[in-house]
């Protein structure tokens, strides 16, 4: 429990919790109040980094204050409260957590940072929390870590998975390279698992466990997470064995002295944002609107974006782990790809076609025009012990009813060793036989039967659009062809660009 000094007890005894009273407002450009956190403070710098991130510029954010603005604040109101109000709110937080939440001048400075000076960035953090916090809580619950530790990611990275500190710490939980390696967060030229929201959260929880085993105090765990367990251990020795963070604080580095107050302030702001007239600026995707699939062949994010019609910036935001926009597949080990949930079925149903788009001329001569043909391939599945039709259908991307029809099954009953017929769709790149190629293969006898040579304008080839192609690019491949001619010949409107895999008719001279 938080211990309050006697003067604060007297103040607190005379104050009731009133969320809409003791409020004053002032202009947002009033930056003259002394004692605020410096702009070059790491926490302030990380907040500022959010405004530069492309995924904010590309996202359609919503801020609906109709339900959240219970106190009917004016849109430009910046509420301020008396110290006793902050004390009472933080005391309530303290009652609900094993982490000791305290209100003092150091904490107040960071509260001002979040709810006054950087309030626009705080709105973005509120929005991002709806994407990341459900996953944080699930992992922390599994590791029996206090759920309030999720607020540490706000202090560390402002919930930016691509955040990189001046010291090189990276990701939502700001792992240094060496610490990341200890917790299996691999870094190479193509991937940086410190940027993986899920894996880095697991690593953070394992690190929290380790630190709590050393210090048995969550505030000291926070201090050690920032400065290292060795630094905290040395501070304890210099203080004569002091284990209370606030008494130990003067023995810690200056950045760490502000770290725990910043954490408490972040927790306060997240619990009382609407009382400060701050509301979420939400990104395009919430936690329940994304899912993952496994990629089994090397791909580039831009190829996936083209074939599934997803903005590349969205894919990069959802898959920050891939440093160069490439998904490597080594030793046939599948890699995770995060997609909007409405695109999952499209990826599964067109997986082979997407791989074909990525490698359209593997095993075909250079310059060969190709089209993608989907065929049904008959395979056999041998039922293993414990399997059931639903699981087999899920594995093969079909329905239970289809398996029953293919195998004349009258019920759901199957048995180990039973062979089931499964039909899978297989997409292959095959060469396109053009009009000119077909004519060249005709015998001289057949050619002599021609009454006359076809008019130049009646000769066509079929061109299959490749990832990255535009009509301008395609027109430049053939002499005498214009973009407008391609549009007219293929029935395209003035703004339409054909997606990869589209077959376009192209007229060529004889």
Ranked by mean pLDDT, the top range of 163-177, 198-212, 315-329, 425-439 is 198-212
pLDDT tens digits along 212-232? 999 999 999 999 999 999 999
Regarding whether 344 and 248 lie in a shared domain, the answer is: no
More confident: 292 or 439: 292
364 pLDDT band (50/70/90 cuts)?
Answer: very low
More confident: 115 or 50: 115
34-45 mean pLDDT? 58
Residue 423 in this model has a pLDDT that exceeds 70: yes
Q: What is the CATH number of the domain that holds 119?
A: 1.10.530.10
- As a whole number, the mean pLDDT across the chain is 78
Nearest alpha carbon to residue 262 among 219, 228, 211:
219
Regarding whether 78 and 213 lie in a shared domain, the answer is: yes
Regarding whether 413 and 453 lie in a shared domain, the answer is: no
Instruction: Please say which residue of 276, 308, 330 terminates a domain.
Output: 276
Cα→Cα distances 34→30, 81, 109, 249, 256, Å: 11, 17, 10, 22, 21
Q: What is the CATH number of the domain that holds 402?
A: 3.10.350.10
Q: What is the pLDDT of residue 243?
A: 95
DSSP3 helix / strand / coil % (the chain, rounded to 5): 45, 10, 40
Regarding whether 136 and 231 lie in a shared domain, the answer is: yes
| Phi, psi for 421 (deg, rounded to 5) | -80, 130
Q: What is the pLDDT of residue 466?
A: 74
Lowest mean pLDDT among 53-62, 150-159, 394-403, 434-443: 53-62
109-148 residues labelled b (16+ CB within 10 A) or e (exposed): bbbbbbbbbbbebbbbbbbbbebbbeebeebbeeeebeeb
- Number of domains composing the chain: 4
Regarding whether 68 and 116 lie in a shared domain, the answer is: yes
Q: What percent of the chain has pLDDT over 90?
A: 41
For residue 25, being part of any structural domain is answered with: no
35 pLDDT band (50/70/90 cuts)?
Answer: low
240-249 mean pLDDT? 95
Q: What is the pLDDT of residue 10?
A: 38
Cα→Cα distances 185→134, 316, 424, Å: 21, 19, 36
104-132 mean pLDDT? 91
Q: What is the pLDDT of residue 308?
A: 87
For residue 503, being part of any structural domain is answered with: yes
Regarding whether 132 and 261 lie in a shared domain, the answer is: yes
For residue 23, being part of any structural domain is answered with: no
347-357 mean pLDDT? 81
Regarding whether 452 and 416 lie in a shared domain, the answer is: no
Contact 392, 334 (CB under 8 A): no
For residue 18, being part of any structural domain is answered with: no
For residue 24, being part of any structural domain is answered with: no
More confident: 208 or 369: 208
For residue 125, being part of any structural domain is answered with: yes
Could you write out the DSSP letters of every residue in 226-270?
HH-HHHHHHHHHHTTS---HHHHGGGS-HHHHHHHHHHHHHHHHH
How many helices (H) and strands (E) are present in the chain, helices listed first?
A: 23, 8
Could you write out the DSSP letters of every residue in 72-99?
---TT---B--HHHHHHHHHHHHHT-SS
For residue 1, being part of any structural domain is answered with: no
What CA–CA distance (Å, rounded) separates 464 from 445?
32
Regarding whether 204 and 153 lie in a shared domain, the answer is: yes
Q: Using N-to-C axis directions, what is the helix angle for 229-238 and 197-215, rounded to 10°?
A: 20
Radius of gyration of the chain (CA): 31
CA 383 and chain centroid, separation:
37
Instruction: Please say which residue of 276, 303, 329 terminates a domain.
Output: 276
Residue 56 in this model has a pLDDT that exceeds 80: no
What CA–CA distance (Å, rounded) separates 166 from 237?
29
Q: What is the pLDDT of residue 366?
A: 47
393 pLDDT band (50/70/90 cuts)?
Answer: confident
More confident: 19 or 113: 113
Regarding whether 135 and 149 lie in a shared domain, the answer is: yes
Burial of 356 (0-12, 13-18, 19+ CB in 10 A): buried
Q: What is the pLDDT of residue 385?
A: 83
pLDDT tens digits along 442-490? 554 455 444 444 444 446 677 777 766 788 878 877 767 888 888 888 7
Residue 482 zone, left/alpha/beta (φ > 0; ψ -120 to 50; rest): beta
Residue 94 in this model has a pLDDT that exceeds 80: yes
Ranked by mean pLDDT, the top range of 117-121, 268-272, 361-365 is 268-272
Residue 301 in this model has a pLDDT that exceeds 70: yes
246-251 mean pLDDT? 95
For residue 67 the two structure tokens come to 């339900």
Nearest alpha carbon to residue 207 among 237, 185, 238, 239:
185
Q: What is the DSSP letter of 410?
A: S
What CA–CA distance (Å, rounded) separates 503 from 433?
12
Regarding whether 440 and 427 lie in a shared domain, the answer is: no
Q: What is the DSSP letter of 41?
A: S
405-430 mean pLDDT? 80
Q: Which domain holds residue 409?
A: 370-431
Three-state DSSP string of 149-202: HHHHHHHHHCCCCCCECCCCCECCCCECHHHHHHCCCCECCCEEHHHCHHHHHH
Regarding whether 426 and 456 lie in a shared domain, the answer is: no
What pTM was computed for the model?
Answer: 0.63
321 pLDDT band (50/70/90 cuts)?
Answer: very high
Query: What three-state secondary structure class fits 383?
Result: coil
Determine how many CB atoms are found less than 10 A away from the CB of residue 43. 25
What CA–CA distance (Å, rounded) separates 281 from 121?
9
Nearest alpha carbon to residue 175 among 215, 226, 138:
226
Q: What is the pLDDT of residue 331?
A: 82
Could you write out the DSSP letters of every residue in 309-367?
T--HHHHHHH-TTBTTSEE---TT--EEEEEEGGGHHHHHHTHHHHHHHHSTTTTS-TT
Instruction: Please say which residue of 215, 245, 276 terminates a domain.
Output: 276
Regarding whether 199 and 105 lie in a shared domain, the answer is: yes
């Amino acid at each position: 429990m938080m211990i309050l000094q006697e003067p604060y007890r007297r103040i607190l005894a005379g104050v009731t919790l009133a969320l809409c009273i003791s409020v004053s407002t002032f202009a947002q450009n009033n930056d003259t109040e002394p004692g605020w956190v410096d702009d070059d403070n790491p926490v302030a710098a990380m907040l500022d980094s959010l405004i530069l991130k492309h995924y904010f510029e590309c996202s359609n954010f919503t801020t609906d204050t109709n339900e959240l603005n219970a106190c009917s604040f004016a849109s430009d109101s910046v509420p301020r409260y008396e110290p006793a109000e902050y004390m009472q709110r933080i005391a309530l937080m303290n009652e609900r957590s094993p982490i000791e939440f305290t209100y003092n001048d150091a904490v107040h400075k960071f509260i001002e940072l979040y709810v006054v000076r950087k309030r626009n960035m705080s709105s973005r953090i509120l929005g991002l929390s709806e994407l990341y916090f459900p996953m944080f809580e699930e992992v922390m619950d599994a590791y029996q870590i206090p759920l309030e530790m999720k607020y540490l990611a706000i202090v560390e990275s402002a919930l930016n998975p691509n955040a990189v500190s001046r010291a090189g710490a990276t990701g939502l939980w700001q792992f240094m390279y060496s610490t990341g390696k200890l917790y299996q967060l691999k870094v190479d030229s193509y991937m940086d698992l410190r940027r993986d929201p899920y894996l880095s959260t697991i690593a953070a929880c394992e690190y929290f466990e380790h630190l709590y085993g050393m210090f048995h105090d969550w505030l000291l765990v926070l201090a050690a997470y920032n400065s290292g367990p060795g630094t905290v251990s040395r501070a304890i020795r210099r203080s004569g064995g002091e284990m209370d963070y606030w008494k130990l604080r003067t023995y810690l580095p200056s950045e760490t002295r502000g770290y725990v107050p910043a954490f408490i302030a972040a927790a306060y702001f997240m619990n009382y944002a609407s009382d400060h007239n701050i509301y979420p600026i939400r990104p395009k995707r919430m936690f329940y609107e994304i899912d993952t699939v496994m990629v089994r062949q090397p791909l580039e994010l831009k190829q996936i974006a083209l074939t599934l019609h997803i903005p590349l910036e969205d894919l990069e935001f959802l898959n920050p782990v891939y440093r160069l926009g490439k998904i490597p597949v080594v030793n046939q080990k599948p890699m995770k790809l995060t997609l909007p949930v409405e695109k999952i079925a499209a990826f599964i149903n067109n997986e082979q076609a997407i791989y074909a788009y990525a490698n359209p001329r593997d095993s075909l001569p250079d310059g060969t025009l190709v089209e993608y043909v989907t065929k049904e391939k008959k395979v056999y599945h041998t039922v293993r012990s414990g399997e059931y039709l639903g699981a087999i259908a899920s594995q093969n991307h079909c329905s239970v009813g289809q398996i029953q029809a293919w195998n004349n099954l009258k019920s759901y009953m199957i048995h180990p060793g039973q062979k089931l017929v499964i039909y899978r769709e297989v997409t292959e790149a095959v060469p396109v036989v053009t009009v000119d190629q077909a004519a060249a293969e005709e015998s001289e006898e057949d050619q002599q039967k021609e009454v006359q040579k076809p008019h130049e304008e009646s000769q066509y080839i079929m061109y299959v659009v490749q990832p990255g192609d535009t009509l301008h690019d395609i027109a430049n491949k053939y002499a005498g062809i214009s973009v407008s001619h391609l549009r007219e010949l293929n029935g395209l409107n003035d703004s339409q660009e054909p997606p990869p895999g589209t077959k376009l008719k192209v007229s060529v001279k004889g």
